Structure 1
Amino acid sequence: MDSKVSNGSSLQDERITNLLVFGFLQSCPHASFHKELEVLGHELPVHTSGSDELQTDGNRCSYFMEDAAETDSESQEAVIRDIARHLARIGDRMEYGIRPGLVDSLAAQFRNQSLSEEDRRQGLAAVLQQLVHSYPADMGQEKTLLVLTMLLARKVAEHSPALLRDVFHTTVNFINQNLLTYLRNLVQSEMD
C-alpha cells in the first residue's frame, strides 16, 4: 500500500518520527536525560551511509540502494533534524504553559507498570487536550499538538530520566497514530 495514502505508519514513517522526536529531545542542551538519550540513540535504527563499511568477516558491506536514493535519505534526515530543532525552539517558547502538576501526573502514569501502551497514549492525549486550548490558534492545531506532544515527552524525561525510553516510544506511537499525515506533509514541504 502506498504510504502517502495509508493512514497506518510504515517503517519509513516510523523512522521519520523517531528522528524527529529524537532530534527534538537532543535540542535541549540543559536536559538531565542526556545519558539516557545517548543510550536510546544507540538502540534506534539509523541510516547507514557509505559503501565501504568493513564487516566482521572482513568483506565490504554491499548496499542495494542507489546512490541517488541514499543521498535523498541523507537529505531527508538533515531536513528532519532541522525541523526538530525548529520545533524545539517553538517548544521552548511554549514551555511556560505546562504546569508542573501535569508533568507530575503524566510521569506517574508512565511509572505505573500496570498501564498498557494504549492507556499511556490515552493519558498523553488527555493531557494534550487540556493544554492545546491554552495556546493561540495562530500556529495551527496540528503543529501545536505536535510541538506539545514532544514537549511533554521532554518535560517527563527531565522530571524522571529513567522514563525516557517509555515516553519516547509512546510519543512516537502517538504521533504516528494522530499526526502522521501532518508530519508527512511537513517533511515533504521542506524537501520540495
Structure 2
Amino acid sequence: MDCKVSNGPGLQDEHITNLLVFGFLQNCSNSNFHKELEVLGREVSMPAYLPEDYDDGLQTDGNRCSYFLESGERDSQGQEEIIQDIARQLAQIGDDMDHSIHPGLMNNLAMQFMNVNLSEEDRRKSLAAALEQVMQTYPMDMEEEKTMLILAMLLAKKVADHTPSLLRDVFRTTVNFINQNLFTYVRNLVRNEMD
C-alpha cells in the first residue's frame, strides 16, 4: 500500500478517471451524443504518462513541464489499454442496468445540469442525490463500489442522451465525483488488472 499522504486524487488519478469515464461513454450502446463525444475526446486528451513523483511543475508561461520517459510511455500505453478494457466491460454491465433508471429521475437531473447558476459542487451534489436514489432501487448483486461507479457513469450517459450539449459538464462532474468518492476503488481496479 502507498505510504504517501494525499489530499485526494492527483493528475495521474484524474487521467485514469478521464480515460475510464470517456471509455465508458464511448462503449455504451444507443447513445445520442457521438459528435459531442468526439469533441470531448480532443478536449480531454492528456499526456500519456505522468510519473508518480511528478511535481506538477508550472512554468512561468503557465504551461506544465513535459516529461517523456520511454519505459513510462510503454507502461502508460499498457495502462490505457487496460483502462479501455475495464471501461468496455463496465459499459456492457451498464447497458444491462440502463432500464433501472426512472425517466423522471433523469429529467430532473438533466434539468439540474441545465441550470447555469448551479456551481460545480451543486452539480456534484445533484449527481450524488440521483445516484443515491438509483442505488436504493438497484439490487446489490455486485460490490457496492462497482455498482456506484457504473451507475454514476450511466447517469452521465443518460443526461448526455437527454441533452447532448450537456456532455462536457456532466463528464466533468462525473469525473470529479468519482475522484472524490471512488478513486481508490478505480485505482485498485486498474492495478488488479495490470498484475
Given candidates 72, 75, 78, the residue that maps to 1:75 is 78
Report the alpha carbon displacement of residue 69 of structure 1 after superposing the two structures with TM: 1.2
Given candidates 128, 131, 138, the residue that maps to 1:128 is 131
Give, in whole Å, the separation in 1 of the partners of 2:177 and 2:67: 32
Structure 2 counterparts to residues 1-192 of structure 1, below 5 A:
5-6=5-6, 8-47=8-47, 64-192=67-195
Give, in whole Å, the separation in 2 of the partners of 1:30 and 1:141: 26
Instruction: State the aligned residue count.
Output: 178
Q: Relative to 1, partners in 2 of residues 1:112 and 1:72: Cα closer, same or farther, differing over 3 Å?
A: same
Give, in whole Å, the separation in 2 of the partners of 1:156 and 1:190: 29
Q: Relative to 1, partners in 2 of residues 1:68 and 1:39: Cα closer, same or farther, differing over 3 Å?
A: same
Report the alpha carbon displacement of residue 134 of structure 1 after superposing the two structures with TM: 1.9
**Unmatched 5+ stretches in structure 2:** 50-65
Report the alpha carbon displacement of residue 45 of structure 1 after superposing the two structures with TM: 2.7
Give, in whole Å, the separation in 2 of the partners of 1:185 and 1:177: 15
For the 8 Å contact 1:33–1:161, the answer to whether it is kept is yes
Aligned-pair identity in percent equals 63
Give, in whole Å, the separation in 1 of the partners of 2:174 and 2:162: 16
Partner residue, 2:55: none
Give 1:96's aligned amino acid.
H
Give, in whole Å, the separation in 2 of the partners of 1:143 and 1:76: 19
Report the alpha carbon displacement of residue 5 of structure 1 after superposing the two structures with TM: 4.9
Please give the TM-score of this superposition, normalised by the length of structure 2. Answer: 0.86
For the 8 Å contact 1:3–1:9, the answer to whether it is kept is no
**Unmatched 5+ stretches in structure 1:** 50-62
How large is the Cα RMSD of the aligned pairs?
Answer: 1.7
For the 8 Å contact 2:23–2:87, the answer to whether it is kept is yes
Give 1:6's aligned amino acid.
S
